[in-house]
């Protein structure tokens, strides 16, 4: 938005003359605006629903519409409208309170030049966010179209990452005698090559990955082994590309003649429908929802999404009428929902006991009214299934669609969260909730995060992942960095991110010890089988200050029958600088045990090499920003190379993380880098089974 564009402005102030002064000030400063004075919460809600706004300026002392109410209303409607507060109070307290509420900034009354600069900053930021959302929609729309082309292509196409088939279309599966592409996805491609050609195939694919040729495809002739064991001669093209934001290889085999467009059209229609109910299936519905979000952004309309789930489905339906009866109920439920739609609505089956209803235009009140009507209609309906009659209830979560909604999956996740909230509030079901973004940044969130970690520790909902750290100098060392993940439904989260943010030292120490003990036991099993593995383990600032840890480590190593020399501990440079005495004592004691010590995120700060004067380390892992500058932003590698060489002069081995492209290897090898780590080598995996041999 340029300085000549008209600002669409909402003003909240109990004194209309002061609101008018702001309008005049903006005009006099050359900032044309269309301003609207807001005198009530209802008026604000209507204005936000009816039009698009660029900015809201409010007096922090307003009584007609308190700033907290205004910010909550904007959040509830999921509108992207930056809020600035004006205050007559001196000091920083007013600023702190305003920022905690969610305002973008707080400016003292009559400091007009300051206000103009803040307005310009927020307008520029708003423009950037809108452009980012537009580009994101276009990008994912292009991805969706590309995915549809891949899925429906007559050519056999597969994407290979680290030797695994991460995607294959149906044509590729059928080409090798498989009924479904799921039969081969995430299987090693090399297993589909006849045994006598596997070594040549492995070498060819490895060279293709190293060459990283994304312009001209290389021809690959090989003999495949079909699902029935029959040899199949294949002529394919291999090209370096990116799939699902990860570098990989595309293998394409030209289509055979004989496929018909009519068959393709039939298959496409079948794929978009749920076979039981005839409603749209989840995959197709997500595409429809994506289009609706795009439309909401361009028309400034507010739509809505209902997530509808039968309460206690297994208990009230499946155990009562069995699987066949449950299917019959789902069919009738689908008919009832379909009979309740309005113009533009779309209904889909989401899961075994759940449905989605998308409304192209609604308001929070209207969505709530419709949802409760629908809940009552379902509760009043008597369903016939398997010779029995049933009455069921549903709970509904609603998320709104607006210009700030983002991706379809995000909106769906919000509706699911609202549904969970409805269940908790109602207890027995038949509940309703409208999703509202969580604006509480205080202690409740901290308590919640801590409770999640404690529960995960007690319930065993934690797992370790291992990412190889590969020696570029051919030492043959088999080192893995150990990462911990907390299982939360289908998500894998880092509990350390919670703990370090909370500053909970006791829980962080407990987590560190669990990780250390679990990891060294896993390493002991590998070493007993002849695998000379070593571990790189993260130590939190809390454990750095735990004077009892070195003695505990000595006992743990002995119990697990692991040699201390096979374990390295890494501490971030920031933690070392903040706890210099504790870091010096810890590194001294663990090195006396025989362990190695690494400093991570090396290079951050004004004088990173000052750290090495106080704390003796064996390895340094450079900060990922140095790699990003070279790898992603195309900057000169001189800074990175100089740092690697300075560390070598200090007799410190260097680990370069986040390596994702083969193009980085010549620079790193020539600079004397000792180790590399990243998705180019291998993503974190659940087992220590990486092949460290270098051809």
Domains in the chain with CATH codes: 7-133 (3.40.50.2300), 155-254 (3.30.450.20), 270-434 (3.30.70.270), 448-676 (3.20.20.450)
Q: Quick one: residue 203, left, alpha or beta (phi over 0 = left, psi -120 to 50 = alpha)?
A: alpha
Between CA 235 and CA 624 the distance in angstroms is 40
Beta-bridge mates of residue 478: 533
Cβ-based neighbours of 188, under 8 Å, separated by 6 or more? 163, 164, 165
User: What local confidence, expressed as pLDDT, does residue 4 receive?
Assistant: 53
User: What local confidence, expressed as pLDDT, does residue 499 receive?
Assistant: 56
User: What local confidence, expressed as pLDDT, does residue 101 receive?
Assistant: 92
Structure tokens at 77: 């409607």
Distances (CA, A) of 69 to 72, 128, 277, 398, 668: 5, 26, 43, 21, 55
User: What local confidence, expressed as pLDDT, does residue 443 receive?
Assistant: 45
Q: Which of 402, 399, 403, 438 is nearest to 127 (CA)?
A: 403
Cβ-based neighbours of 683, under 8 Å, separated by 6 or more? 162, 467
Cβ-based neighbours of 660, under 8 Å, separated by 6 or more? 247, 631, 678, 679, 680
Q: Which of 572, 597, 585, 574 is nearest to 653 (CA)?
A: 597
Q: Quick one: residue 114, left, alpha or beta (phi over 0 = left, psi -120 to 50 = alpha)?
A: alpha
Between CA 355 and CA 340 the distance in angstroms is 13
Distances (CA, A) of 67 to 10, 105, 202, 604: 12, 12, 64, 39
Between CA 25 and CA 31 the distance in angstroms is 9
Between CA 414 and CA 367 the distance in angstroms is 15
Looking up tokens 């043959």 gives: 476
User: What local confidence, expressed as pLDDT, does residue 415 receive?
Assistant: 92
User: What local confidence, expressed as pLDDT, does residue 557 receive?
Assistant: 92
Q: E strands, 254-315, where?
A: 303-310
**Model pTM score:** 0.46
What is the number of other CB atoms lying within 10 angstroms of the CB of residue 89?
14
User: What local confidence, expressed as pLDDT, does residue 154 receive?
Assistant: 86
Distances (CA, A) of 457 to 454, 511, 553, 614: 5, 8, 20, 35
Q: Which of 572, 639, 646, 583 is nearest to 609 (CA)?
A: 646
What is the number of other CB atoms lying within 10 angstroms of the CB of residue 130?
17
Residue 643 burial (10 A CB sphere; 0-12, 13-18, 19+): buried
Q: Which strands form 156-161's sheet, in the order they lie side by side?
A: 164-168, 156-161, 246-253, 231-243, 218-225
Supply φ then ψ for residue 65, to 5 degrees: -135, 95
User: What local confidence, expressed as pLDDT, does residue 386 receive?
Assistant: 80
Q: Compute mean pLDDT per 10 residues along the chain, 695 residues long, and list them.
A: 70 88 80 86 91 91 94 91 94 92 93 93 90 77 76 88 89 88 88 90 87 76 88 89 84 70 53 83 86 76 90 84 86 91 90 90 88 92 86 92 79 90 81 75 52 68 90 87 77 58 69 91 91 92 89 91 93 83 92 94 74 90 82 74 90 91 87 91 91 70
């Amino acid at each position: 938005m340029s300085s000549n564009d008209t600002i669409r402005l909402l003003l909240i102030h109990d004194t209309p003359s002061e609101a008018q002064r702001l309008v005049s000030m903006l005009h006099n400063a050359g900032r044309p605006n269309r301003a609207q004075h807001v005198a009530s919460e209802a008026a604000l809600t209507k204005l936000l629903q009816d039009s698009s706004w660029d900015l809201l300026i409010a007096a922090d002392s307003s009584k007609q519409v308190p700033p907290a109410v205004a910010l909550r209303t904007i959040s509830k409607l999921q509108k992207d409208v930056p809020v600035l507060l004006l205050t007559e109070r001196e000091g920083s307290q007013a600023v702190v309170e305003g920022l905690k509420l969610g305002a973008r900034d707080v400016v003292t009354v009559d400091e007009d030049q300051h206000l103009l600069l803040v307005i310009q900053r927020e307008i520029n930021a708003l423009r950037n966010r809108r452009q980012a959302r537009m580009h994101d929609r276009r990008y994912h729309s292009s991805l969706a179209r590309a995915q549809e082309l891949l899925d429906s292509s007559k050519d056999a196409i597969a994407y290979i990452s680290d030797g695994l088939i991460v995607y294959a279309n149906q044509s590729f599966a059928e080409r090798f005698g498989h009924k479904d592409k799921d039969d081969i996805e995430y299987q090693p491609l090399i297993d589909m090559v006849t045994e006598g050609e596997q070594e040549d195939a492995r070498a060819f694919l490895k060279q293709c990955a190293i060459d990283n040729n994304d312009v001209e495809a290389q021809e690959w002739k090989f003999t495949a082994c079909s699902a029935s064991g029959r040899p199949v001669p294949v002529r394919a093209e291999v090209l370096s590309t990116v799939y699902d934001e990860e570098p990989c290889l595309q293998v394409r085999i030209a289509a055979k003649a004989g496929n018909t467009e009519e068959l393709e059209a039939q298959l496409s229609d079948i794929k978009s429908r749920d076979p039981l109910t005839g409603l749209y299936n989840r995959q197709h519905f997500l595409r429809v929802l994506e289009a609706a979000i795009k439309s909401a952004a361009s028309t400034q309309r507010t739509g809505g999404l209902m997530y509808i789930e039968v309460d206690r489905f297994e208990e009230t339906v499946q155990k009562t009428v069995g699987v066949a009866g449950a299917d019959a109920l789902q069919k009738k439920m689908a008919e009832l929902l379909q009979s309740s739609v309005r113009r533009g609505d779309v209904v889909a089956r989401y899961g075994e006991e759940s449905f989605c209803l998308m409304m192209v235009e609604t308001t929070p009140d209207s969505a709530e009214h419709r949802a409760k009507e629908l809940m009552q209609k379902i509760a009043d309906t008597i369903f016939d299934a398997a010779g029995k009659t049933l009455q069921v209830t549903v709970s509904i979560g609603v998320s709104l669609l607006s210009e700030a909604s983002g991706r379809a999956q995000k909106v769906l996740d919000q509706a699911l969260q609202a549904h969970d909230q409805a269940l908790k509030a109602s207890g027995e079901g038949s509940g309703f909730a409208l999703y509202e973004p969580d604006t509480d940044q205080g202690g409740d969130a901290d308590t919640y995060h801590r409770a999640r970690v404690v529960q995960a520790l007690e319930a065993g909902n934690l797992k370790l992942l291992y990412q190889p750290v590969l020696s570029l100098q051919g030492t043959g060392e088999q080192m893995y960095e150990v990462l911990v993940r907390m299982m939360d439904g289908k998500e894998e989260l880092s509990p350390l991110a919670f703990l370090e943010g909370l500053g909970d030292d006791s829980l962080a120490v407990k987590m560190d010890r669990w990780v250390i003990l679990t990891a060294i036991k896993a390493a002991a099993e590998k070493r007993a089988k002849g695998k000379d593995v070593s571990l790189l383990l993260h130590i939190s600032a809390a454990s750095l200050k735990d004077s009892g840890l070195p003695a505990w480590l000595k006992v743990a190593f002995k119990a697990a029958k692991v040699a201390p020399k096979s374990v390295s501990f890494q501490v971030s440079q920031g933690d070392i600088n903040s706890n210099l005495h504790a870091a010096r004592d810890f590194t001294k004691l663990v090195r006396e045990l025989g362990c190695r010590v690494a400093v991570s995120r090396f290079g951050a700060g004004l004088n990173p090499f000052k750290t090495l004067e106080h704390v003796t380390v064996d390895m340094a892992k450079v900060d990922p920003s140095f790699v990003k500058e070279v790898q992603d932003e195309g900057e000169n590698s001189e800074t990175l190379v100089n740092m690697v060489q300075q560390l070598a002069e200090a007799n410190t081995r260097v680990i370069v993380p986040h390596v994702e492209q083969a193009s980085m290897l010549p620079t790193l090898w020539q600079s004397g880098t000792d180790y590399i780590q990243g998705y180019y080598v291998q993503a974190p995996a659940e087992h220590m089974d990486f092949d460290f041999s270098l051809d």
